[in-house]
Every structure is written in C-alpha cells, then in structure tokens.
Amino acid sequence: MSGRTARRRVTMAEVARAAGVSVMTVSYAYGQPGRVSDEARARVREAAERLGYPGPHPGARSLRRGRTGNLGVVLGEHLTYAFDDPQASRFLAGVAQVCADHGMALTLVPVTGGPSDVDRVTAAAVDAFVVWTTADDDPVIDAIAATGLPATVHGGPRRDDLAFVAVDDRAAARAAGIEVFAGARHPAVLSFPLDRARISSVSFGAPSNAGVTAHSGTSNVGVAPSDTVTTEAGPARATAGIDPEASTFRVTRQRLRGFRDAWAEAGGDWSQVRVAVCSTNSAREAEALAAELLTGPHACDAVAAMSDELALGTLRAAARLGLSVPGDLTLSGWDDTDAAAPAGLTTIAQSLRDQGARCARTALGHPAPGDRDTEVAWRLVRRVSTRRP
C-alpha cells in the first residue's frame, strides 16, 4: 500500500543551496538545459536527486509561464462516455495522437450533465479545448468561450467565436437517405436524441407547415415537440411530430434535414416518415424502438439510422421479427465501424480519428496544411443492406 506520509515538497531554492548555485541556474537546468553548463547541470541534478526534488512544481510553473501543457477535452456527455462509446473513442484516439506528438497531456474535463459542469470547465487547467458534440443551449459551451482559450468544436454547436470541425452531415444524410429510401413506401429514421432532455420517442415527422424551409444557419426556431404520450412499450413517447429544426444538437438536426431532403426528392413528405428517437447511442435501445417501427399498422420498410450502433440494433430486431434485409427492409447506418462490413450495412464512412486529430491540431494552433480549408471527408459505402431486390 501507499504508506507514505505526505512529505513536504522540496523547493527549488533548497536544491540551489545544496548545489551551490543560484535558483535561476536550477530553473534553467530544468526548463532550458542548454542554457547552463554541463557542469552546473550535473551538480543540480545531483543535488535534486539527493534531496528528492521532483522537478518544478507544475502549478507554479503554469502560473508563471502562462501555459499548462494540457489540452482539455469536453464531452457533451458523462465522462465515461469517452471510453464507452466507440465513436467517441475513435475521435479521442485522434486527439491523443496529436497530443502525444506535441508532448501535451490530454485532460478529460469531468462533465456529468449536472449544473456544476460549468465550474469544472472554468477550473480546468488547460491551454485549449476540444469539444465533442453538445447541444446549442449547453451552458458548458459558453463557459468554454468565456475562458478565452482557443477551442475547437466537433459536430456542434457552431459558433463564430469557436473553431469548428464536422462533415457536411446534411449532405451525407441526404446521400444515405436517397440510397436507403429508394423504392420505399414507409420510410423511417432512427435518430439520436433531439435535445439535452434525451427523451426517446416514436412518431412521425412534423407536418410540412412546421418549418420545412431549410434554415442553413444556426437558427433553432423550430417548433418543439409537444403533446407527448407514453406508449406501453416503455420509455418511448409519441410526439406531435418531429421537426428537424427543433433539435438543439446540430448533428442530429443536420442529419434529420438531410434525410428529409432525400425523401422529398423521392416525392415524399416528411410527415410520412416515422422517426424513432433513441435516448442514447446503444444497439439495445435501438432494437426495442426498431421493433416498434417494424410492426403495427405503419410498419416501415426502410430505416435510416444515425449510427451503425443503432442500425445493428435494427438488424437484430428485424431478425427477431423474421424480416429479411434488404428483402423486407432496407437499412443504413453511419460511421462505417468495424461491425458494419461484416453485417453488410450500407453506411456513411468518415474518419472520426482524423477529425479528432484535426480538432486537436486546430485547437493547439498547429494546423496541418489542409486543415483550414479542406472539407472533412465522408463517403457513402453501399452494401447489401440497401440492395432492394
């Protein structure tokens, strides 16, 4: 066990005295080793070793230097999400790669969804922030902007005062939608949460008078879901109609818009599209919601899911119901995770790892040549799940 009594920290001045040099010589010996002679450096190291000096106090150093050597990462979710969600993990692997390249530590700021998150952000000792998708109205994003530190947001919200990295979710969703909705008569969307409340629901798209006009900016003026009714299936609720514009998550909003675009191009109306909203990105929950989509009087024959996770849950539900894919049901996912290819899942491929790296580079002020201008790459991967007979 750690049977240490909290020993007092040895100070630089003590090392200086023991080594017979000035404090500044010790400081330079650590911070700019080239600045002192070999002999002085050796004496300092020896004295430090002898006294058990652990090196300059990081807090004091960062106070004086004005930088910490830490990159802060803020998730719009609970901290454990960083390691539990495969998409977040891949993104963070990219961030971590860049951190390692620059010798920066990676600090995960402990957001939990509670009111103290703001304080946690302002208390974070970091030089820059990378933010993983959060809601437009998340107070955390204001706190980050208020620090005045460089910050890059992935996915959303998009703000003028913060750098931004994301694929063109709307265009990609449109591409996926065209593919999966082709020949469909009863299309459906399996969506991420619409807002921070993260309430799961099953309903149709909002009638077309409720904001079909595409708002390309950050206006979130849409009509919020109302008139919710709990179904017997569990926590799912039927809402009056899902309006893409009402979602406060930019990624969700853009993808809903894109799916709506695709269905509109096929001559359909958004209000014909059933939309199931998951409270979380899990195959388990998706399976339950998909079962609802695939049965009853409005049983669907095409499902556009916002992640491979959700699509795989749908696959399981279909299998359980004896439905064949793509015979009875076409299906698309998102992300092209490792599981997508074996499952024959049509999906949107994007490298979250690259995007994480790009966010980190941008935030740290070391952009790679293409970072500033190049659009973030994505492509539609066609597989058997949308090959309607």
The mark string for 254-293 relative to its own copies (x by CB under 8 A, - otherwise) is ----------------------------------------
What type of residue is 143? A
Query: What are the residue ranges of helices labelled H in the chain?
Result: 12-19, 23-31, 38-51, 58-65, 81-84, 86-101, 117-122, 139-147, 169-181, 250-265, 283-293, 308-320, 352-364
Q: Considering beta carbons, is residue 31 or 235 the nearer one to DNA?
A: 31
Among 56, 207, 344, 367, binds DNA (CB under 7 A): 56
Q: Which two tokens stand for residue 267?
A: 């001559």
Indicate whether 34 belongs to the interface with DNA (CB under 7 A).
yes
Contact window for DNA (CB under 7 A) among 61-69, 192-200, 244-252, 376-384: 61-69
Both tokens assigned to 89: 């993990």
Is 42 an interacting residue with respect to DNA (CB under 7 A)?
no
Please give the Cα distance from 178 to 160 (Å, whole number): 32
Which amino acid, 357?
A: A
**Residue 13 touches which member of its own copies, DNA, none, C-beta under 5-8 Å by kind:** DNA
In the range 106-145, which residues lie near its own copies by CB under 8 A? 106-110, 112, 116, 119-120, 122-125
Told to check if 224 binds its own copies by CB under 8 A, we report no
In whole angstroms, the minimum distance from the beta carbon of 288 to DNA comes to: 47
Among 16, 151, 251, 276, binds its own copies (CB under 8 A): 151
Q: Alpha-carbon torsion 293, 298, 302, 307, what sign?
A: negative
322 binds, among its own copies, DNA, none (CB under 5 to 8 A by kind): none
Nearest to 348 by CA among 159, 211, 174: 174
Residue 389 is a binding residue for its own copies (CB under 8 A): no
Q: Which option in DNA, its own copies, none does residue 229 bind, with CB closer than 5 to 8 A by kind?
A: none
Phi-psi region of 148 (alpha: psi -120 to 50; beta: other; left: phi over 0): left
Pairing of strands 237-238, 302-305: unpaired
Residues in binding contact with its own copies, number by CB under 8 A: 65
Under the binding rule (CB under 7 A), the answer on residue 368 touching DNA is no
Rounded Cα–Cα distance for residues 384 and 285 (Å): 24
Q: Would you list the DSSP string of 345-367?
A: -BEEE--HHHHHHHHHHHHHT--
- Check residue 30 for interaction with DNA (CB under 7 A): yes
- Interacting residues toward its own copies by CB under 8 A: 1-4, 6-7, 9, 52, 54-63, 68-70, 72, 78-80, 82-84, 89-90, 92-93, 96-97, 99-100, 103-110, 112, 116, 119-120, 122-125, 146-148, 150-152, 160-164, 362, 372
